[in-house]
Structure 1
Amino acid sequence: MDEQHIVFIGGGPRTAMILERISANREHFPGSPLRLHIVDPYPAGAGRIWRENQSPLLKLNSRASDVSMFTDESVQCLGPAVNGPPLDEWARLIREGALNDAPQQLASDPLLRAEVAALGPEDFPTRRLQSCYLRWFFDRVRASFAAPDQVEVHLDTAVDLISGPSAHQVHLASGQIIEADQVVLVQGHLDARIQSDARAAEFAAKAAKHQHLGYFPPGYTNDIDFQSLPAGADVLVSGMGLAFTDLFVLLFEGRGGRFEPASDGALRYIPSGAEPRLLAGSRRGVPYHSKISSIPRSDTSSTRFFTEEQLARLHERHGELDFFEHVWPLIAKEAAYFYYRELFSAPAARTGSFEDFADAYESVHWYSPERASLVARFFEPADRLEFEELDFPLPFPRPFGSKLARTHINRLVTSHIIQDLRLRDSPDHPQFQALFLGLLRCYTDLRFIHDKLSEQGRSQLASWWHGFFSFIDSGPPAHRLRELLALHDAGLIEFLGPETSFGFDEQAQQFTAQTLAGTVNAQWFIEARLPATRVASSADPLLAALHRRGLITEEPGGSGKLHINSLRQVIGPDGAVHRWLFAVGASVSGIQGGAFSRPKSNSAPFADSDALAREVLSAPARMSPWELAGSVGDAHRILG
């Protein structure tokens, strides 16, 4: 081919960011004209998750000032920085008439116009406005390519990928075939075949067999049609994370209810009469922690204990690393250091000086009596940080004893939420924002250690760590938790508590929840959680085809994620590296941050996108003789 054809499977924010980096780096990689193909059935730039066609009630769990698609001067990467406005600045420029390429859809959408008119830096924007911002960014990036380079969008679905003698062929659902020199898999979050989840498959079969039952399997809440859920129905709900937040927004305010300020400063819910009644439980029994409104006084720009050098020394000493034994104690020590340093910056008096504390803290292991004694010497019990207490915040003894009353469980959960709001939605407790930033910085730096972890360590990273980090750092805005309390006060949400397990009562022919207060049955059941991300069970037609033919495989360790190397090239089950096939996003191995992040924070996704863009631009437009021989062999096997 006279042109270099690069095909992106998926057109969401990460693809837009990579395209921006290709454009920014283009002058340093002259060569054949680029033909960049974007394949996605949803609008390019926004993709499925951030598409405009969703409820205006749904919001980001990030503030407008914390969302940017632009690689600014803080990003440590080889390519040139291209500054641009984060979401709040973008809205301000539109209000002031200073954006000469303002999105056309604002003219025809009064809700979006009203939101732009009122949006401030600390506000949580709607996902529809974020969609508008993302599509504007994509259009700007697309316009930045100069002829003969061009970007072509295919509103279609990739269903297969065949390696040919001279190029690769991407097959689309419409029957179109795109010739490609390189292919980049950027599908983002994946759906799973229901048969791959034993519980979901069993419950779906029960609901299909009995007309009086209703079951909603794991999925993306905004994509699920809840119209069949009747008003007044008791509904068991498994999960209290972000999917649960979306769920109660759509089932209550989305069905015509509204919130009003109460005399005590809380909220009061005014029902429409169309609401169901939710009975929600989970492993922890509480919702994710609220977003934090305080501002740290101390420096949060660098790490002291969880550093690339320290991780390299650990690997040199131990070889393959176990996450819990080797890595987590360093993360805990680092994040706690952020937290305690901030407490010393607060006006309240502390015992001793920060310098004395820091000198002693330097040498103690996180899980040691010396660390506990040191903290006890400097801080009152209420200020001491134990991550196990954060992970299981309700004060239930373990092992559990006799059954508790449902009213007692609900009282404990509501007290926890009220205390969480008191500490996090206040300017008076910046130590929690420091903790948030410490964990976030460690999360970003975990990319340095992923290839040094044992298989067990990777599994621990993909399971426990991701869940714990999300619980602490990826919670909803504070007003969502106030709404949750109002719904509880209205009798429309009951909390089932921690260690809730779900099943099916064959005798009663109902779904069941085993709680610390006994058994609760209901005819309706909602799994408020995302499907497990596993390549082998993905419902994505392209990944299913590639896995079936043995072109791709899951990484060792049981995470279920697509196996790639440090250059983001896909590794096959035989260990062969496909130098023309790249992958990035939530479904691939390693630490993958979101597609957008805080401006001026050297956010990892920006640097990763820059590195991938440069790798794709420098990749040969033709296969090497070894790759050519391999692709011919693949073609022969496919043809039989």
Structure 2
Amino acid sequence: MGLQSKVAALSTRCNVELVSNQHEYVIAVVGAGPRGTSFLERLLAQVERCSPGQRRGLKVMVFDPAPHGAGRVWNPEQSSLYLMNTPAAFPTAAPSGGTRRSLPPSSCSISFLEFCAPGGFDDDAASYPTRSQYGTYLAWLNKEVSAHLRGRGVVVQHISAEVTALIPQADRYLLRTAGGEHAADAVVLALGHLETELSSGPAHLAAQADKHGLHYQGPAIPTEVDYSTFGAGQNVLVRGLGLNFFDLMIEVTAGRGGQFRLNQDPTPGRRFTYEPSGAEPRLIAGSRRGTPYRAKTLAPGFVPSGIELAHLTPRAIDELLAEHTELDFAAHLWPLIEKDIRSTCASFGGPADFDVTSCARPFQHRSWTSPQEYQHTLVKWLEDDAEASTAGADSPEKMAINALHAARLEVKKLVADRRIRMASVLRDIEGWFEPLVEGLASGPPLQRIEELAALSRAGLVEFLGPEPVYGVDSTNGAFIADSAAVQGARYHAAYMIEAMMPPNRITQAQSQLVRGMLADGLAAPAIVESGGQAHVHKGFNVTEAPHRLIHSDGTAGHIYVLGLQLSSVQWGTAIAAEAGGDIQGSARALADADAAAASVLQTLTPDAALPNLAPVLS
């Protein structure tokens, strides 16, 4: 049965004509960010469609020390300098547009863009809103949904605390916080980003930093980093030129009083001149590819019009499945994706032999005689990227990259539908396709690339060469970094920052809750067989949708999982749901929340059982 059929089947079973002498049914939602908020909205939609009847009491407890609705990442109080990397028309935490054909809306169901005008924000669909604005929408939605649930007789309790332990007790669960213990019949884990232990390389740098009195910042959510430790004029080594880098960049420049002045006769890539405040540090940044993530095109649409996959088609996929049952990404899908990239490039006036891997690593096999030569190369690269983004559909290269983006959406569906063998997902999709597509198609708005070019021209950002190496000079007590491709490029600094999010890997999580669940066998990581060896995956071992934790003994209870920790059965779990998107693809996060809400409510009928409650083999 497909996901849409499962959602429909669960949604039609709602019957709350129950005996009133049983204890109230309690749902605990752990995590009040976007996924937890989507669950509440889907629960409301289910409750609003239920027959009134004689109800057993229903209570929802929502736990999160971060702001409820927004969570840690989207805190409405964060700096207005931080931008989303998707336009306003894309994100939503509730069904809107075409999605409502599959997921009937609740009385509060609107997208972010629909919220913008009444919320006092710019409602230009192509604009890039601030993260605090999206957080304001999430906080509003969470508050409205909670109020409407209460209006339907549901008790909703918001608890600003971290759940540190989850303990099964007979047919219920005990949730422990610093303030006490709470019992629940079902638990929904919407944990979001978790702090993690440092891997061996960063852990060594952190240890050396402690030994020599240096300042090291590991991977973290940008809003939780104290950038004030970087003093004016001080060198700061940066590893990573992705989205977290741009937050760091803007915080220590415009956030310290610097000004980006718009030039009178701007050309793409040279629109801004930066006027320093004098309070800025000097960022020395690098990444394996040697370049930042590429800017998004100004061509309108999440996938611009004119982009059509002629090779990675449903018919081609069906034919492959008929022959192979399970697909290998590198052998079966990547050749079709490459053909679509090249044919798209040609259809927009570019060369038919477009090489996307060279586009992702433009400086492979090159060398430079000085750091100054490399800076000149990088600034020219930034200016060219800005020009291509500004050209929109007139840039064959950017349109070819958008074909790659469109293919990614199809690959996400295939992974979630378990059409690609997990060994290939681990080896190919997570191994090399994910960083390829992120660097090319998941970049910042054009504004950020143009600002970076201005900062580089002003001498406040300098780039390391490709494949940089970071370490510690114990003799001089300083971090060091260089690139073998750039002669004379050895940099020293007392500060180093990893400009990236914590890895989404449950076995590295510092969370007491996750550690305890793993230790007690309440949860387990998924195991992937590849090359005759068993590999521990980064996500939880879960059932089919609605996704429930599979315990170490192979059984599954009433603990549902939403979001990042579903990476063992989905791919690209950090991306928000698309407004109007397909529940099999870009709006699957909403379908997951709806399936969980429907399944939880089904247990309100005493003589009905949760589907698939028999032991589930991992």
TM interval, short-chain normalised? 0.7 to 0.9
> Compared with structure 1, are the counterparts of its residues 583 and 224 closer, same or farther at alpha carbon in structure 2 (3 Å cutoff)?
same
Can you list the C-alpha shifts for 1:392-433, whole angstroms capped at 9, x where unaligned? 123x42xx6x66321222222222211111111234526535
Q: Tell me the equivalent position of 1:93.
A: 118
Can you list the C-alpha shifts for 1:309-330, whole angstroms capped at 9, x where unaligned? 6545545534554332233333
Deviation at 1:451, TM superposition (A): 6.2
Name the aligned partner's letter for residue 41 of structure 2: E
Looking at structure 2, the residues matched to 403 and 289 of structure 1 have their Cα atoms a distance apart, in angstroms, of: 22
Deviation at 1:573, TM superposition (A): 3.5
Residue 12 of structure 2 corresponds to residue 6 of structure 1: no
> Which residue of the other structure, out of 585, 594, 610, is the alignment partner of 1:610?
594
Q: In the TM superposition, what are the counterparts of 1:486-635 in structure 2 within 5 Å? A: 486-515=454-483, 516-518=485-487, 519-557=490-528, 558-567=536-545, 568-574=547-553, 576-588=554-566, 589=568, 590-594=570-574, 596-602=576-582, 603-604=586-587, 605-619=589-603
Contact 2:41 2:109 in 1 (8 A): no
> Which residue of the other structure, out of 139, 143, 146, is the alignment partner of 2:147?
143
Name the aligned partner's letter for residue 479 of structure 2: F
Deviation at 1:615, TM superposition (A): 2.5
Deviation at 1:437, TM superposition (A): 5.0
Looking at structure 2, the residues matched to 180 and 277 of structure 1 have their Cα atoms a distance apart, in angstroms, of: 51
**Number of aligned residues:** 563
Contact 1:290 1:425 in 2 (8 A): no
Residue 310 of structure 2 corresponds to residue 289 of structure 1: no
Deviation at 1:340, TM superposition (A): 4.9
Q: Tell me the equivalent position of 1:253.
A: 254
Can you list the C-alpha shifts for 1:25-66, whole angstroms capped at 9, x where unaligned? 225555633212111001211111111221121111122222
> Compared with structure 1, are the counterparts of its residues 29 and 585 closer, same or farther at alpha carbon in structure 2 (3 Å cutoff)?
same
Contact 1:538 1:544 in 2 (8 A): yes
- State the SS of the aligned residue for 1:488: helix
Looking at structure 2, the residues matched to 462 and 121 of structure 1 have their Cα atoms a distance apart, in angstroms, of: 31
Q: Tell me the equivalent position of 1:375.
A: none
> Compared with structure 1, are the counterparts of its residues 316 and 512 closer, same or farther at alpha carbon in structure 2 (3 Å cutoff)?
farther
> Which residue of the other structure, out of 375, 393, 413, is the alignment partner of 2:378?
413
Looking at structure 1, the residues matched to 522 and 61 of structure 2 have their Cα atoms a distance apart, in angstroms, of: 22
Looking at structure 1, the residues matched to 291 and 307 of structure 2 have their Cα atoms a distance apart, in angstroms, of: 31
Give the aligned CA root-mean-square deviation in angstroms.
3.0
Can you list the C-alpha shifts for 1:44-92, whole angstroms capped at 9, x where unaligned? 1111111122112111112222233331241277542358543344232
Deviation at 1:514, TM superposition (A): 2.9
Name the aligned partner's letter for residue 216 of structure 1: Q
Name the aligned partner's letter for residue 323 of structure 1: F
Can you list the C-alpha shifts for 1:158-179, whole angstroms capped at 9, x where unaligned? 011111113111111222x221
Residue 331 of structure 2 corresponds to residue 325 of structure 1: yes
Contact 1:292 1:424 in 2 (8 A): yes
Contact 2:405 2:437 in 1 (8 A): no
- State the SS of the aligned residue for 1:142: helix
Name the aligned partner's letter for residue 361 of structure 2: F
Name the aligned partner's letter for residue 174 of structure 2: Q
Q: In the TM superposition, what are the counterparts of 1:150-299 in structure 2 within 5 Å? A: 150-175=155-180, 177-194=181-198, 197-211=199-213, 213-265=214-266, 266-295=271-300
Name the aligned partner's letter for residue 460 of structure 1: D
> Compared with structure 1, are the counterparts of its residues 483 and 592 closer, same or farther at alpha carbon in structure 2 (3 Å cutoff)?
closer
Identity of aligned residues (%): 28
Range 258-267 or range 230-239, more displaced: 258-267
Q: In the TM superposition, what are the counterparts of 1:470-485 in structure 2 within 5 Å? A: 470-485=438-453
> Compared with structure 1, are the counterparts of its residues 314 and 87 closer, same or farther at alpha carbon in structure 2 (3 Å cutoff)?
same
> Compared with structure 1, are the counterparts of its residues 138 and 430 closer, same or farther at alpha carbon in structure 2 (3 Å cutoff)?
farther
Contact 2:241 2:292 in 1 (8 A): yes
Looking at structure 1, the residues matched to 346 and 298 of structure 2 have their Cα atoms a distance apart, in angstroms, of: 18
> Compared with structure 1, are the counterparts of its residues 234 and 14 closer, same or farther at alpha carbon in structure 2 (3 Å cutoff)?
same
Can you list the C-alpha shifts for 1:107-160, whole angstroms capped at 9, x where unaligned? xxxxxxxxx3x5533322222211111111112222222432232211110011
Can you list the C-alpha shifts for 1:422-474, whole angstroms capped at 9, x where unaligned? 11123452653542651353254234454641335334323423222222222
> Compared with structure 1, are the counterparts of its residues 429 and 51 closer, same or farther at alpha carbon in structure 2 (3 Å cutoff)?
same
> Which residue of the other structure, out of 6, 19, 31, is the alignment partner of 2:40?
19
Name the aligned partner's letter for residue 244 of structure 1: F
Contact 2:330 2:424 in 1 (8 A): no
What TM-score, normalized by structure 1, do the two folds share?
A: 0.80
> Compared with structure 1, are the counterparts of its residues 620 and 569 closer, same or farther at alpha carbon in structure 2 (3 Å cutoff)?
farther
Can you list the C-alpha shifts for 1:544-591, whole angstroms capped at 9, x where unaligned? 1111222212222344122222221112344x1323111121232222
- State the SS of the aligned residue for 1:560: strand
Range 142-151 or range 6-15, more displaced: 142-151
- State the SS of the aligned residue for 1:64: coil
Can you list the C-alpha shifts for 1:591-614, whole angstroms capped at 9, x where unaligned? 254564442232322233222322
> Compared with structure 1, are the counterparts of its residues 429 and 610 closer, same or farther at alpha carbon in structure 2 (3 Å cutoff)?
farther
Contact 1:391 1:468 in 2 (8 A): yes
Q: Tell me the equivalent position of 1:108.
A: none
Contact 2:603 2:609 in 1 (8 A): no
Looking at structure 1, the residues matched to 41 and 613 of structure 2 have their Cα atoms a distance apart, in angstroms, of: 31
Q: Tell me the equivalent position of 1:64.
A: 88
Contact 1:17 1:595 in 2 (8 A): no
Can you list the C-alpha shifts for 1:342-388, whole angstroms capped at 9, x where unaligned? x2xxxxxxxxxxxxxxxxxxxxxxxxxxxxxxxxxxx653x643221
Looking at structure 2, the residues matched to 430 and 380 of structure 1 have their Cα atoms a distance apart, in angstroms, of: 8
> Compared with structure 1, are the counterparts of its residues 143 and 331 closer, same or farther at alpha carbon in structure 2 (3 Å cutoff)?
farther
What TM-score, normalized by structure 2, do the two folds share?
A: 0.83
> Compared with structure 1, are the counterparts of its residues 262 and 28 closer, same or farther at alpha carbon in structure 2 (3 Å cutoff)?
closer
> Compared with structure 1, are the counterparts of its residues 471 and 380 closer, same or farther at alpha carbon in structure 2 (3 Å cutoff)?
closer
Looking at structure 1, the residues matched to 175 and 338 of structure 2 have their Cα atoms a distance apart, in angstroms, of: 45
Name the aligned partner's letter for residue 616 of structure 1: V
Can you list the C-alpha shifts for 1:506-535, whole angstroms capped at 9, x where unaligned? 344322223011433322211111222211
Looking at structure 1, the residues matched to 123 and 614 of structure 2 have their Cα atoms a distance apart, in angstroms, of: 57
Looking at structure 2, the residues matched to 466 and 549 of structure 1 have their Cα atoms a distance apart, in angstroms, of: 33
Contact 1:463 1:559 in 2 (8 A): no
Name the aligned partner's letter for residue 282 of structure 1: S
> Compared with structure 1, are the counterparts of its residues 298 and 283 closer, same or farther at alpha carbon in structure 2 (3 Å cutoff)?
closer
Range 320-329 or range 221-230, more displaced: 320-329
